[in-house]
Protein backbone atom coordinates (compact mmCIF):
# COMPACT_ATOMS: atom_id res chain seq x y z
CA UNK A 1 0.00 0.00 0.00
CA UNK A 2 1.39 3.35 -0.98
CA UNK A 3 1.08 5.96 1.73
CA UNK A 4 0.31 9.51 0.60
CA UNK A 5 3.15 11.85 1.52
CA UNK A 6 6.17 9.53 1.25
CA UNK A 7 7.51 11.79 -1.49
CA UNK A 8 7.52 14.82 0.83
CA UNK A 9 11.11 14.11 1.77
CA UNK A 10 14.56 15.36 0.80
CA UNK A 11 16.31 12.94 -1.57
CA UNK A 12 19.55 12.73 0.42
CA UNK A 13 21.65 9.86 1.73
CA UNK A 14 19.75 8.15 4.54
CA UNK A 15 21.52 7.79 7.88
CA UNK A 16 20.55 5.31 10.59
CA UNK A 17 23.27 5.92 13.13
CA UNK A 18 25.81 8.59 14.01
CA UNK A 19 27.91 9.78 11.04
CA UNK A 20 30.89 12.16 10.90
CA UNK A 21 28.98 15.46 10.44
CA UNK A 22 27.05 14.96 13.66
CA UNK A 23 29.56 12.87 15.64
CA UNK A 24 29.03 14.01 19.24
CA UNK A 25 32.60 13.19 20.21
CA UNK A 26 33.61 16.73 19.31
CA UNK A 27 31.12 17.99 21.92
CA UNK A 28 32.16 15.44 24.52
CA UNK A 29 35.83 16.31 24.12
CA UNK A 30 35.25 20.05 23.79
CA UNK A 31 32.56 20.21 26.50
CA UNK A 32 30.57 22.33 24.06
CA UNK A 33 27.59 22.63 26.41
CA UNK A 34 29.49 23.33 29.62
CA UNK A 35 27.67 26.05 31.52
CA UNK A 36 24.47 25.45 29.52
CA UNK A 37 21.22 24.40 31.14
CA UNK A 38 19.11 21.92 29.20
CA UNK A 39 15.56 20.84 30.11
CA UNK A 40 14.28 17.61 28.56
CA UNK A 41 10.66 16.43 28.77
CA UNK A 42 9.94 12.74 28.44
CA UNK A 43 13.40 12.29 29.93
CA UNK A 44 12.89 9.02 31.73
CA UNK A 45 13.41 6.69 28.77
CA UNK A 46 13.93 6.37 25.04
CA UNK A 47 14.99 9.38 23.03
CA UNK A 48 14.64 11.74 26.00
CA UNK A 49 17.03 9.78 28.19
CA UNK A 50 19.60 9.32 25.43
CA UNK A 51 19.38 13.05 24.70
CA UNK A 52 19.91 13.94 28.36
CA UNK A 53 22.94 11.64 28.52
CA UNK A 54 24.43 13.18 25.38
CA UNK A 55 24.06 16.75 26.65
CA UNK A 56 25.46 15.73 30.04
CA UNK A 57 28.50 14.15 28.38
CA UNK A 58 28.95 17.48 26.59
CA UNK A 59 29.08 19.38 29.88
CA UNK A 60 25.49 20.57 30.21
CA UNK A 61 23.47 20.81 33.41
CA UNK A 62 20.26 18.85 33.06
CA UNK A 63 16.66 19.17 34.15
CA UNK A 64 14.81 15.91 33.58
CA UNK A 65 11.02 16.05 33.39
CA UNK A 66 8.71 13.08 33.32
CA UNK A 67 5.61 11.78 35.06
CA UNK A 68 7.11 9.44 37.66
CA UNK A 69 9.76 10.19 40.28
CA UNK A 70 10.94 6.58 40.33
CA UNK A 71 11.85 6.47 36.64
CA UNK A 72 13.32 9.96 36.84
CA UNK A 73 15.54 8.77 39.68
CA UNK A 74 16.67 5.82 37.54
CA UNK A 75 17.56 8.20 34.72
CA UNK A 76 19.38 10.61 36.97
CA UNK A 77 21.32 7.74 38.49
CA UNK A 78 22.24 6.47 35.05
CA UNK A 79 23.69 9.88 34.19
CA UNK A 80 25.54 10.28 37.51
CA UNK A 81 26.90 6.74 37.32
CA UNK A 82 28.60 7.62 34.07
CA UNK A 83 29.34 11.28 34.90
CA UNK A 84 29.72 11.68 38.66
CA UNK A 85 30.19 15.45 38.40
CA UNK A 86 27.08 16.08 36.27
CA UNK A 87 24.55 18.55 37.65
CA UNK A 88 21.14 16.95 37.27
CA UNK A 89 17.77 17.73 38.81
CA UNK A 90 14.44 16.05 38.24
CA UNK A 91 10.91 17.42 38.15
CA UNK A 92 7.70 15.41 38.07
CA UNK A 93 5.24 16.86 35.59
CA UNK A 94 2.65 15.77 33.11
CA UNK A 95 3.31 18.03 30.11
CA UNK A 96 -0.42 18.51 29.61
CA UNK A 97 -0.58 20.28 33.00
CA UNK A 98 -0.15 24.04 32.56
CA UNK A 99 0.66 24.71 36.18
CA UNK A 100 3.22 21.91 36.45
CA UNK A 101 4.89 23.09 33.25
CA UNK A 102 5.25 26.56 34.75
CA UNK A 103 6.60 25.09 37.98
CA UNK A 104 9.16 23.01 36.09
CA UNK A 105 10.59 26.12 34.45
CA UNK A 106 10.59 27.97 37.77
CA UNK A 107 12.39 25.07 39.44
CA UNK A 108 14.98 25.18 36.65
CA UNK A 109 15.63 28.88 37.21
CA UNK A 110 15.69 28.44 40.98
CA UNK A 111 18.37 25.74 40.77
CA UNK A 112 20.43 26.87 37.79
CA UNK A 113 19.61 30.56 37.33
CA UNK A 114 18.77 30.25 33.66
CA UNK A 115 17.61 28.03 30.80
CA UNK A 116 19.47 27.66 27.50
CA UNK A 117 17.85 24.74 25.68
CA UNK A 118 14.39 23.18 25.87
CA UNK A 119 14.05 19.71 24.35
CA UNK A 120 10.29 19.19 24.06
CA UNK A 121 10.39 15.46 23.58
CA UNK A 122 7.50 13.94 25.54
CA UNK A 123 5.00 12.33 23.21
CA UNK A 124 2.18 9.84 23.02
CA UNK A 125 0.72 7.53 20.41
CA UNK A 126 -2.08 4.99 20.26
CA UNK A 127 -1.96 1.61 18.55
CA UNK A 128 -2.47 2.04 14.83
CA UNK A 129 -5.21 -0.50 14.47
CA UNK A 130 -8.62 0.90 13.54
CA UNK A 131 -10.19 3.81 11.67
CA UNK A 132 -10.70 6.71 14.04
CA UNK A 133 -14.48 6.58 14.45
CA UNK A 134 -14.18 3.03 15.78
CA UNK A 135 -12.01 4.14 18.68
CA UNK A 136 -12.39 6.31 21.75
CA UNK A 137 -12.86 10.01 20.84
CA UNK A 138 -11.32 11.13 24.10
CA UNK A 139 -8.25 9.02 23.39
CA UNK A 140 -7.93 10.67 19.98
CA UNK A 141 -7.79 14.12 21.53
CA UNK A 142 -5.49 12.99 24.31
CA UNK A 143 -2.76 12.47 21.72
CA UNK A 144 -3.12 16.14 20.77
CA UNK A 145 -3.02 17.11 24.43
CA UNK A 146 0.32 15.42 24.94
CA UNK A 147 1.93 16.05 21.55
CA UNK A 148 0.77 19.62 20.90
CA UNK A 149 -0.38 21.09 24.19
CA UNK A 150 2.45 19.38 26.04
CA UNK A 151 4.97 21.02 23.74
CA UNK A 152 3.11 24.36 23.86
CA UNK A 153 3.01 24.48 27.66
CA UNK A 154 6.75 24.05 28.08
CA UNK A 155 7.55 26.40 25.21
CA UNK A 156 5.18 29.03 26.64
CA UNK A 157 6.91 29.21 30.01
CA UNK A 158 10.41 28.60 28.69
CA UNK A 159 10.31 31.47 26.23
CA UNK A 160 10.80 34.38 28.68
CA UNK A 161 13.85 32.58 30.04
CA UNK A 162 15.17 31.58 26.62
CA UNK A 163 14.91 35.18 25.46
CA UNK A 164 17.41 36.11 28.18
CA UNK A 165 19.95 33.51 27.00
CA UNK A 166 19.29 33.65 23.21
CA UNK A 167 18.20 30.09 23.77
CA UNK A 168 17.03 27.24 21.63
CA UNK A 169 14.17 24.79 21.36
CA UNK A 170 14.24 21.29 19.95
CA UNK A 171 10.82 19.78 19.29
CA UNK A 172 10.70 16.04 18.73
CA UNK A 173 8.33 15.86 15.79
CA UNK A 174 7.98 12.96 13.35
CA UNK A 175 8.14 12.09 9.69
CA UNK A 176 4.51 11.04 10.02
CA UNK A 177 3.75 14.76 9.91
CA UNK A 178 3.81 14.27 6.13
CA UNK A 179 2.25 10.81 6.01
CA UNK A 180 -1.46 10.05 5.77
CA UNK A 181 -1.23 6.68 7.53
CA UNK A 182 -4.71 5.19 7.88
CA UNK A 183 -5.51 4.48 11.58
CA UNK A 184 -2.93 7.04 12.71
CA UNK A 185 -4.85 10.26 12.13
CA UNK A 186 -4.29 11.67 15.61
CA UNK A 187 -0.58 10.96 15.72
CA UNK A 188 0.10 12.21 12.20
CA UNK A 189 -2.04 15.34 12.52
CA UNK A 190 -0.57 16.24 15.92
CA UNK A 191 2.97 16.11 14.52
CA UNK A 192 1.82 18.00 11.41
CA UNK A 193 0.53 20.78 13.68
CA UNK A 194 3.84 20.91 15.58
CA UNK A 195 5.80 21.81 12.48
CA UNK A 196 3.61 24.88 11.95
CA UNK A 197 4.00 25.78 15.64
CA UNK A 198 7.77 25.74 15.15
CA UNK A 199 7.39 28.26 12.34
CA UNK A 200 5.45 30.54 14.69
CA UNK A 201 8.04 30.30 17.44
CA UNK A 202 10.69 31.37 14.93
CA UNK A 203 8.44 34.12 13.60
CA UNK A 204 7.30 35.63 16.90
CA UNK A 205 10.61 35.12 18.73
CA UNK A 206 13.31 35.58 16.07
CA UNK A 207 16.16 35.72 18.57
CA UNK A 208 15.55 32.06 19.42
CA UNK A 209 16.38 29.03 17.32
CA UNK A 210 13.77 26.28 17.04
CA UNK A 211 14.22 22.90 15.41
CA UNK A 212 11.32 20.48 14.84
CA UNK A 213 13.07 17.16 14.26
CA UNK A 214 11.97 13.74 13.07
CA UNK A 215 14.17 11.51 15.24
CA UNK A 216 14.13 8.50 12.95
CA UNK A 217 12.21 5.27 13.49
CA UNK A 218 13.54 3.79 16.70
CA UNK A 219 12.43 0.79 18.72
CA UNK A 220 11.35 2.78 21.79
CA UNK A 221 8.52 1.81 24.12
CA UNK A 222 6.30 4.42 22.46
CA UNK A 223 7.06 3.14 18.98
CA UNK A 224 6.55 -0.52 19.88
CA UNK A 225 3.18 0.22 21.49
CA UNK A 226 1.84 1.58 18.22
CA UNK A 227 2.40 -1.65 16.31
CA UNK A 228 3.34 0.57 13.39
CA UNK A 229 4.12 -1.34 10.20
CA UNK A 230 7.41 0.52 9.79
CA UNK A 231 10.64 -1.22 10.76
CA UNK A 232 12.65 0.47 13.50
CA UNK A 233 15.99 0.90 11.72
CA UNK A 234 17.47 3.91 13.48
CA UNK A 235 19.49 4.09 16.69
CA UNK A 236 18.83 6.27 19.73
CA UNK A 237 22.22 7.86 19.17
CA UNK A 238 21.10 9.30 15.82
CA UNK A 239 18.56 11.86 17.09
CA UNK A 240 20.54 12.63 20.24
CA UNK A 241 23.63 13.47 18.20
CA UNK A 242 21.50 15.42 15.72
CA UNK A 243 20.08 17.59 18.53
CA UNK A 244 23.60 18.37 19.73
CA UNK A 245 24.68 19.25 16.20
CA UNK A 246 21.69 21.56 15.65
CA UNK A 247 22.01 23.33 19.00
CA UNK A 248 25.76 23.78 18.66
CA UNK A 249 25.10 26.64 16.26
CA UNK A 250 26.14 24.78 13.14
CA UNK A 251 22.75 24.88 11.40
CA UNK A 252 20.96 28.03 12.49
CA UNK A 253 19.67 28.43 8.94
CA UNK A 254 17.41 25.45 9.61
CA UNK A 255 15.59 27.20 12.46
CA UNK A 256 11.82 27.01 11.98
CA UNK A 257 12.12 24.26 9.36
CA UNK A 258 11.32 20.55 9.54
CA UNK A 259 14.46 18.45 9.88
CA UNK A 260 14.81 14.68 9.64
CA UNK A 261 17.57 13.01 11.65
CA UNK A 262 17.91 10.26 9.00
CA UNK A 263 18.99 12.91 6.46
CA UNK A 264 22.73 13.29 6.03
CA UNK A 265 22.85 16.85 7.32
CA UNK A 266 26.26 17.50 5.77
CA UNK A 267 24.74 16.74 2.39
CA UNK A 268 21.67 18.85 3.24
CA UNK A 269 23.92 21.82 3.88
CA UNK A 270 26.26 21.39 0.92
CA UNK A 271 23.65 20.46 -1.71
CA UNK A 272 20.33 21.90 -0.51
CA UNK A 273 20.89 24.86 1.79
CA UNK A 274 20.82 27.57 -0.83
CA UNK A 275 17.63 26.26 -2.43
CA UNK A 276 15.92 25.68 0.91
CA UNK A 277 16.58 29.24 2.02
CA UNK A 278 15.76 30.82 -1.34
CA UNK A 279 12.49 28.89 -1.72
CA UNK A 280 11.53 28.77 1.97
CA UNK A 281 11.64 24.98 1.85
CA UNK A 282 11.05 22.38 4.54
CA UNK A 283 7.86 24.02 5.78
CA UNK A 284 4.36 22.85 4.86
CA UNK A 285 2.53 24.78 2.19
CA UNK A 286 -0.83 24.47 0.46
CA UNK A 287 0.06 22.67 -2.73
CA UNK A 288 -0.88 24.82 -5.75
CA UNK A 289 -0.64 22.77 -8.97
CA UNK A 290 1.69 23.81 -11.75
What distance in Å separates the CA atoms of residue 189 and residue 62, rounded to the nearest whole number? Answer: 31
Strand (E) or helix (H) holding 204: helix 185-204
Shortest Cβ 6–another protein spacing (Å): 11
Q: Which residues bind another protein (CB under 8 A)?
A: 4-5, 7-10, 98, 131-133, 137-138, 140-141, 144, 148-149, 152-153, 155-157, 159-160, 177-178, 180, 182-183, 185, 188-189, 192-193, 195-197, 199-200, 203-205, 258, 272, 275-276, 278-290
> Is position 258 annotated as part of the catalytic site?
no
The DSSP secondary structure of 98-137, one letter per residue, reads HHHHHHHHHHHHHHHS---EEEE-------S-S-GGGS-H
| Closest to 196 measured CA to CA, from 95, 283, 278, 119 | 283
Catalytic residue among 187, 205, 245, 285: 187
Helices 137-144 and 185-204, interaxial angle, to 10°?
Answer: 30
3-state secondary structure of 189: helix
Shortest Cβ 28–another protein spacing (Å): 33
**Beta carbon nearer to another protein, 156 or 250:** 156
> Is position 191 annotated as part of the catalytic site?
yes
Shortest Cβ 127–another protein spacing (Å): 15
Contact 153, 97 (CB under 8 A): yes
Catalytic residue among 55, 152, 191, 258: 191
Contact 38, 119 (CB under 8 A): yes
What distance in Å separates the CA atoms of residue 217 and residue 136, rounded to the nearest whole number? Answer: 26
**Beta carbon nearer to another protein, 240 or 282:** 282
**Beta carbon nearer to another protein, 19 or 272:** 272
**Beta carbon nearer to another protein, 193 or 230:** 193
Active site residues: 187, 191
Amino acid sequence: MSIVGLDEDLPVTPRHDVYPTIDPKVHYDGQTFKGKVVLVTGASRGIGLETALSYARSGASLVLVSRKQATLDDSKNAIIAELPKAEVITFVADVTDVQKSEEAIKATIKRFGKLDILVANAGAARPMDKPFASKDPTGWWNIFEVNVRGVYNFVHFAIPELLKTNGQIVIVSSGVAQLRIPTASEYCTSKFALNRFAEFIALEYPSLRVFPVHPGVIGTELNLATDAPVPAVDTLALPAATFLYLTSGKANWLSGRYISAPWDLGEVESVWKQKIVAQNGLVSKLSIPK
